[in-house]
């Protein structure tokens, strides 16, 4: 089953008796999505859960969010746009936009520069020594009018690694199949861990049909559901894919 750009395929292994997902077999794309949850600003998480119409997020963050929305710009610093707080950008080497969440497209993983403003005095250097960078290579530099499409290297604060923005996207290697548990523990798939899991959940191999394998397409709606469930539940895959049939 081929995944489209907006979905990824997952193989669920379901214990039919207890109607719960024992684990999912997943490729890099799904694991990258799960890992990318940690790059999401709290403001983004609050907005996504607020907008998905299933009752918002627990706790006080939604009312804090609304306070910022409702506060007149008269009270906000002139150089600050409220979007910085309500729709923050994620600046993360290797980060790709979490495609399985709606409208988080402001995420970026590459910075671009032009050659003005540096110490080399090219084109319109205003002598301030400040260097301009942009997160979109189509940006035109307001100072020198050239496209800001030069690559910029981010140096790790420890000075040990120059972080490259190029290479395979995402976080984990693509040659491996991963095992994602119902509580979102993630590890490389192995026969030993499958057997251990079946034993732990008392799965009876002799019983025909005790285990069901099911291919599912995981899309954006599921992305938001999973994000919500991951904050509230220990049986996230069951909640997302089998909800209604249990609890
Ligand atoms: Zn410039």
Select from 167, 225, 221 the least CA-distant residue to 6. Answer: 221
Q: How far is the CA of 117 from the centre of ligand 1 (A)?
A: 6
> E-assigned strands of the chain?
8-15, 20-26, 112-113, 133-134, 150-151, 154-155, 162-163, 178-181, 186-188, 211-218
Query: Left if phi > 0, otherwise alpha if psi is -120 to 50, otherwise beta: which for 138?
Result: alpha
- Are both 75 and 190 inside the same structural domain? yes
What's the rounded Cα separation, in Å, for the pair 193 and 198?
Answer: 9
> How many whole angstroms separate alpha carbon 44 and alpha carbon 57?
12
Whether residues 150 and 222 fall in one domain: no
Residue 72 lies in a domain: yes
Å from CA of 113 to ligand 1 middle = 8
Q: What is the pLDDT along the chain (247 residues), one digit of tens a residue?
A: 444 568 899 999 999 888 999 999 999 999 989 998 888 888 889 988 887 766 667 788 889 999 999 999 999 999 888 888 888 876 665 555 556 777 775 445 567 888 775 444 444 445 556 778 887 788 898 888 888 888 777 676 666 556 555 556 778 888 899 999 999 999 999 888 888 888 887 777 667 678 899 999 998 889 999 999 999 899 999 999 998 544 4
Q: Reduced to 3 DSSP states, what percent helix, strand and coil does the chain have, rounded to the nearest 5?
A: 30, 20, 55
- Number of structural domains, the chain? 2
Distance 79 CA to ligand 1 centre (A): 21
Alpha carbons within 13 angstroms on the beta-carbon side of residue 188 total: 6
Any domain includes 102: no
Q: Does any domain span residue 231?
A: yes
The pLDDT score that the predictor gives to residue 189 is 93
Claim to verify: residue 176 and residue 160 sit in the same structural domain: no
Same domain for 117 and 221, yes or no, is: no
Cα 109 to ligand 1 centroid, rounded to whole Å: 21
How many other C-beta atoms are found inside a 10 Å radius of the C-beta of residue 133? 14
Residue owning tokens 């993630």: 186
Exposed, middle or buried by CB within 10 Å (0-12, 13-18, 19+), for 81?
exposed
Q: Would 103 be classed as within a structural domain?
A: no
pLDDT of 227: 93
**Is there a domain that residue 222 lies in?**
yes
Instruction: List, in sequence order, the alpha helices (H) in the chain.
Output: 28-36, 42-51, 61-70, 83-86, 191-200, 220-232, 236-242
CA of 132 to the centre of ligand 1 (A): 7
d(CA 182, CA 201): 12
Q: Is 34 helix (H, G, I), strand (E, B) or coil?
A: helix
Contact 11, 18 (CB under 8 A): no
Beta carbons of 193 and 17 less than 8 angstroms apart: no
pLDDT of residue 247: 41
Q: For the stretch 212-238, what's the b/e string if a residue is b when 16 or more beta carbons lie within 10 angstroms of its beta carbon? A: eeeebebbbebbbbbbbbbeebebbbb
- Within a domain: 104: no
Residue 124 CA to ligand 1 centre (angstroms):
7
Domain that holds residue 215: 8-93+172-242
Q: 127 and 191: one domain?
A: no
Cα–ligand 1 centroid distance for 121 (angstroms)? 11
CB atoms under 10 Å from CB of 92, counted, come to 16
């Amino acid at each position: 089953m081929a995944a489209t750009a907006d979905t990824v395929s997952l193989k669920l292994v379901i214990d039919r008796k207890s109607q719960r997902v024992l684990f999912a077999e997943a490729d890099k794309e799904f694991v990258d999505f799960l890992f990318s949850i940690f790059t999401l600003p709290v403001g983004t998480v609050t907005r996504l859960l607020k907008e998905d119409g299933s009752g918002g997020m627990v706790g006080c963050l939604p009312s804090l969010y609304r306070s910022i929305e409702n506060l007149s710009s008269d009270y906000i610093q002139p150089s600050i746009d409220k979007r910085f707080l309500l729709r923050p950008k994620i600046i993360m080497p290797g980060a790709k936009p979490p495609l399985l969440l709606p409208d988080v497209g402001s995420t970026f993983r590459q910075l671009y520069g032009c050659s003005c403003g540096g110490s080399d005095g090219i084109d319109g250097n205003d002598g301030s020594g400040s260097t301009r960078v942009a997160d979109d290579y189509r940006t035109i530099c307001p100072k020198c009018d050239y496209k800001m499409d030069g690559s910029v290297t981010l140096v790790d604060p420890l000075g040990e690694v120059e972080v490259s923005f190029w290479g395979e996207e995402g976080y984990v290697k693509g040659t491996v199949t991963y095992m994602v548990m119902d509580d979102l523990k993630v590890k490389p798939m192995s026969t030993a861990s499958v057997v251990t899991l079946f034993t732990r959940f008392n799965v009876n191999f002799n019983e025909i049909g005790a285990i069901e394998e099911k291919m599912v397409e995981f899309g954006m709606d599921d992305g938001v559901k999973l994000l919500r469930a991951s904050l509230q539940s220990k049986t996230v895959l069951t909640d997302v894919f089998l909800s209604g049939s249990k609890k």
